[in-house]
Amino acid sequence: MSDNLYELLASRFPADRGKPCFLMSDGGEVSYGQLEEAVARTAGLLVSRGVVPGDRVAMQVEKSWPAVAIYLATLKAGAVFLPLNNAYTPSEIEYFLGDAEPRLFIQDAPAFVGEAADAKPLAAPVARSADDLASIIYTSGTTGRSKGAMLSHGNLAANALALHEAWGFTPDDVLLHALPIFHVHGLFVALHCAFLSGAPMVWLPKFDDAHVLAGLARSTVMMGVPTFYTRLLANPGFTRESAAHMRLFVCGSAPLLPTTFAEFEARAGMRILERYGMSEAVIITTNPLDGERIAGSVGYPLPGVDLRIGGGDETGVIEIKGPSVFGGYWRMPEKTADGYFITGDVGRRDPDGRVWISGRAKDLIISGGYNVYPKEIELILDEMEGVAESAVIGVPHPDFGEAVCAVVMGQGDEAAMIAMARQNLAAFKAPKRIFFVEDLPRNAMGKVQKNLLRQRYADTFV
């Protein structure tokens, strides 16, 4: 067996391929055998379209099980999977396609897999080494230019195996999957844990209260972002009885408020397991499956992860290295450093070794689980009539964790400016509020002091 990630995942599929893989909300099922057949034929179609090992296959589609088949088929064919958020605008997509230069760009997963039904199946996975590239995940930079994090077959395999063990997955589990699959959380973390167990997934197109509550009754594990849990708690139908079938709730992609942690424990009778990760390393730390889970802490580094606090101080920028840490940024060698990767997250380790995240070093906003970089939005706002300069910040929000807000030197129509921004940005990036001021606070070097702005507008949504 080579180091092709698909070989590892498929080796853990259930011996009885008739076992369900996807359990649909309408009662339908897709078996592991059906998935495996779709993967083989889709890989064959990719090869017939000229895809060779190392080629990029980009996809911007709605969530569906055929989209998962395309992901796995790309791995099987030895190509590189490039998932793109379906909220991205055409101008944003143009940049990604120009930078990654994919062999194919797929925008309709069911149609593509349907076409593959007549293709010759690819019998064996293309041999890959652990260092060969498996996926590129674009993560925006503070300069406004997106960077493609290059994750190898070895990176993803190491992280998947570590999580599978850390979270105690078995073939008896059923995973409730309501996450998007253009993001590492839903694509790698959730899918890989299920596949390594040969476990079924309650497959939901998106988070919907009614479908999630119904899904809990036949699931054992749920993965989500803080927004999922605040919305569950807002629904009176979510009770201790409705969660009785569950053994584990996992949360990540954005900070979980301690109040949400406490309210969930009071309501459901169990504690959420919070973990910490990023596109460049998938999952880095996790609270223990068996042991104390503490509100506000993201737990301990996974086995094999070497985590240190830069600068030698008690609190500083988190730096990491290990088998799941990416190899660098696509076509940006100047952005890639040897040795430890500097995450940009500020945190500390307590005497027990637990990790606590206190914020971002460069003003990253995490809204609803998605990374939002202020510079990209500021570039849009600064072009608008009446704007002398803008400063984009994140402020506390009870649902999204953080909400994107802009503070503008100048005058304008707030609603019209927000609408204009949404024409050029994915909805999760567009400001939810715009405040107009005469001057922006600055330090002696003339740099805008965003920390003061965050303090000033901290109670906007509270």
Cα separation, 196 vs 100, in Å, equals 29
Alpha helices, DSSP H only, in 198-346?
A: 209-216, 226-233, 258-268
Pairing of strands 201-203, 175-177: parallel
Cα separation, 77 vs 120, in Å, equals 13
Q: Which residues of the chain have pLDDT under 50?
A: 141-143, 444-445
Please give the pLDDT value at position 227.
Answer: 85
Burial, 134: exposed, middle or buried (Cβ in 10 Å; 0-12, 13-18, 19+)?
Answer: buried
Residue 388 contacts residue 439 (beta carbons within 8 Å) = no
**How far is C-alpha 242 from the geometric centre of its chain's CA atoms?**
27
Distances in whole angstroms, Cα of residue 133 to Cα of each of 3, 4, 33, 417, 444: 11, 10, 27, 41, 45
Give the phi and the psi of residue 162 in degrees, each rounded to 5. Answer: -65, -45
Size of the chain, expressed as the number of residues it contains: 462
pLDDT tens readout for residues 353-366? 999 987 677 777 88
Please give the pLDDT value at position 333.
Answer: 82
Overall fold of domain 5-359: Rossmann fold (3.40.50)
Cα separation, 302 vs 280, in Å, equals 15
* Rounded (10°) angle between helices 374-381 and 414-424: 120
Cα separation, 344 vs 349, in Å, equals 16
In the chain, domain spans: 5-359, 365-456
Global confidence as pTM: 0.85
pLDDT tens readout for residues 365-414? 889 988 887 888 988 998 899 998 899 999 999 999 999 999 999 999 99
How many Cα atoms occupy the beta-carbon half-sphere of 350 within 13 Å? 12
**How far is C-alpha 402 from the geometric centre of its chain's CA atoms?**
16
Please give the pLDDT value at position 451.
Answer: 87
Q: Nearest to residue 21, comparing CAs of 195, 188, 151?
A: 195
Residues 6+ apart with CB under 8 A from 444: none
CATH superfamily of 365-456: ANL, C-terminal domain (3.30.300.30)
Please give the pLDDT value at position 332.
Answer: 87
How many Cα atoms occupy the beta-carbon half-sphere of 1 within 13 Å? 10
